[in-house]
Structure 1
Amino acid sequence: MIGHALLVVGICAATLAYGRAWYACRNEWPRRRGLSWLAGAALALIALSPPMMHFGHARIEGHMVQHLMLGMYAPIGLVLAAPVTLALRTLPQRTGRTLVSLLASVPIRVLAHPVTAALLDIGAMFLLYLTPLYDFMHDTPWAGTLLHLHFLLAGCLFVWSIAGPDPAPHRPGPRLRLGVFLVAMALHGALSKYIYLHGYPLDSASTLEQRRLAAELMYYGGDIAAIAMAIAFFAALFKPRGTARHAGPNRKTNQAPNHS
């Protein structure tokens, strides 16, 4: 379980870094952003807590609850906290320029494209639940750790590509992002129905009733995440244009103007 311990340490370290930056910008940074990060980090840590780890390993319903918390709900909280924007407000100018250049690089642009993000996030679920990978993950500790890390990072990438408030150079227009989002959520729902009807994963030690309950959790839990993402997407889409100039850091002082 060393891998999971390192994952927990990483989340705690990121939360401490976010908290320091939030304190540095406490008079300008919206409280809702900071609370969003705390909520996302709390959900991730609960999903990785010993009771949840035991529940997720022993029963497929527990695994599905972990999947929802770690791969869907926690990423929404973390991404809507706008950590990149906060970093640009507090980092030294040279480091901030390096971060902006990294975000604009071709590999990041490809990785953060909504289609790529959807394939890494939703597509990986098809591979996990419709192949023997699920049982392999449960029998191999390091594979379980990598899976949880993938859930968290792929979920964050997908939310960021669709509705993230952070700056994203060369981000596709809202029509393409909305289209990818609708297709991805439809595929997520279709996968949960397929699992329910055919009792996947077939080689799992759980009973058919347990697998069907897990599929129901996946279906309805995915709907809740989709609603939250849709609200964030349309809220950003119809945000008054006048607030756009406050999104980036002040180049002279490396502090952004007041932002509500």
Structure 2
Amino acid sequence: MKWLKRILIALALLLGLALALPFFISLDDYIPQLEKAVSARLNEPVSIARIRFAALPVPHVTIEGITVGKSADVKLGLVTVTPDIYSLWQPVRVIKRIEIDTLTLTREAINKIPVWLNPDDDKSPQPLVRVERIQLTNARVNFGQANFGPFDARANLDSKNAAEDITITTQDGKLRARIKPDQSKYLIEASAKGWTPPISSTLLFDELTLKGVATPDDITLNQVSAKLYGGTLNGTAHARWRQGLQLNGNLDIR
């Protein structure tokens, strides 16, 4: 009866393979269409290396090796898109979350993000696809002379796919920030402990609290409070990065 046992094992393996195949489907044939659509939306060249669909543990699509821009100002290692299955038969499809693992941005990309993420105006029509949340893991920003990261971020989006609030945490847990969009500006609150800023590898803040307003070009900190090297620092500061990083401020150091 060994032959029967072997046949049953072989049939079980074939059945398992047949059941598994539909859950891991390559969608590479759709890459040119997707590249064209995203490129038209962002007005930037877009390249995608691979797309796959998986049904387990929940239905989702993974997209690998994405670059945006002629100089690859945006690089995404792996993007996982998880839809709300029940919304696929509704007028507006809902993406429950987009998870991005390994993201690299340049200063030029930072300047363009508000245009990419937000609708053109408040009267823009209801989108056919709505994204509820974006999650970033292992992200980095290259400002040219300085680098920030790696950090993780979470963004909740409204019904028009505009960011409602954003939280950022460095992977070492030393810096936490909350960003709330306000029309063309961003309200920022941040706190840090034992943190070294990217502009100086020798500066160490024992404690730091910041509150201010940022635009794609600069950031104005109306409240700066810090403890470092046994002393305190209080005041205001301003930074610009459109034409290289420029810093100035009015600080009381004691």
User: Which structure has the higher relative contact order (CA within 8 Å, separation 6+)?
Assistant: 1
Instruction: Indicate the structure (1 or 2) with the bigger Cα radius of gyration.
Output: 2
TM score, norm. by length of structure 2: 0.24
Which has the larger share of helix? Answer: 1
TM score, norm. by length of structure 1: 0.24
Which has the larger share of strand? Answer: 2
